[in-house]
Structure 1
Amino acid sequence: MSKYLRRLGRDVWRSIEEGPHVSVLTPVQTDGATTRIGGGQPSLNRPTKDDLDKMENDAIAFYEISCGVAPDNFDIIINCKSAKEIWDVLENLYEGTGQAQDMKLTTALNEFNNFKAHAGESLEDSFKRFNLIVTKLSNVGTV
């Protein structure tokens, strides 16, 4: 999923890493006085093109991640307000905490170090089992 999101653009991925862009609107000053709407609230300057581009990237990231979530996991992210929040929830769900990742790595390394062909097992079956271990190691970032 991260590769797909990066292909959408560096700015889309940045909105996931850094969180949503918040446009800072300030009161408009004219001739030393704050312009007011109808004599009441101060009027605010409009978001810049850069603000609008960043907010659009936030919306794209949010939409794309939401569409990529399996229906049975959608209830986990339904209350998330940003793409970063969804990403963090899914990352924890699928990859686990640091302690869980360490356990996965230890398990995969033990399987790799203790790998032996079983008696009567075909070369093809041994290779399949070995390939699964290598895939596990790859998934925890060691290969």
Structure 2
Amino acid sequence: MAQALSLNVFNSVGGSNRAPILVANEYHHWSQRMERYLRRLGRDVWRFVEEGPHVPVLTPIQTDGATARLGGGQRVMSRPTKDDLDKMENDVVAFYEISCGVAPDNFDIIINCKSAKEICDVLKNLYEGSEQAQDKKLTTALNEFNNFKAHTSESLEDSFKTFNLIVTKLSNASTIHSNHETNLQFLNGLGRH
């Protein structure tokens, strides 16, 4: 049992040459790890997850100039530049790595996605929910923070762990309190032991 758990943790964390694997109840951690992993692969790899795939701008060019003046000739599109090809390759890398980071039980959800950004958007919607669901999570986390009270039967360390989880939930919801506010709330929540 412990070996299976260790293997799951090993897979979900990933490594320097291996994308982290998405574990359903650890989506936020996975997304942070995946972003760091992709940024490590190249400065622009993560950009295509945020912005979407690069589409080169190709312009029509006329071939056979003499024939063109007479109404003939052929119009062809210009070729992608080296910069375009590099950007398109970074998008392919991001798409591949994120695809590899999705466990088989979730792969069917993303199988029809055409870009790294699309995969991330689908997974974010699946695991974080709509804006309404995110607002509910934020409200719940704020209530837990504001109403934190340590239980008389728990140790200071256990109280701190509980409070730290609440602060992490707020941070995940992009709500940050100053260190002063956080420390004061924790101390107030300790009450008198």
- TM-score tier, shorter chain, comes to 0.7 to 0.9
Distance in structure 2 (CA, Å) of the matches to 1:61 and 1:89: 15
Instruction: Pick which of 106-115 and 129-138 moved more.
Output: 129-138
Whose RCO is larger (CA < 8 A, sep 6+)?
1
From 105, 116, 126, the equivalent of 1:93 is 126
Q: Which amino acid aligns with 2:159?
A: S
Gaps of 5+ in 1: 37-41
Alignment of 1:38-117 (within 5 A): 42-117=75-150
RMSD, aligned α-carbons: 2.1
The answer to whether 1:23 aligns with 2:56 is yes
Q: Contact conserved, 2:62 with 2:76, CA < 8 A, in 1? A: no
Give % identity: 80
Distance apart, 1:139 and its partner CA:
1.2
Q: Which amino acid aligns with 2:152?
A: A
Secondary structure, counterpart of 1:80 in structure 2: coil
Secondary structure, counterpart of 2:45 in structure 1: helix
Distance apart, 1:24 and its partner CA:
3.9
What is the TM-score of this pair, normalised by structure 1? 0.82
Q: Contact conserved, 2:56 with 2:84, CA < 8 A, in 1? A: yes
Which residue of the partner structure matches residue 133 of structure 1? Answer: 166
Change (3 A) 1:18 1:124: closer
Instruction: Pick which of 115-124 and 82-91 moved more.
Output: 115-124
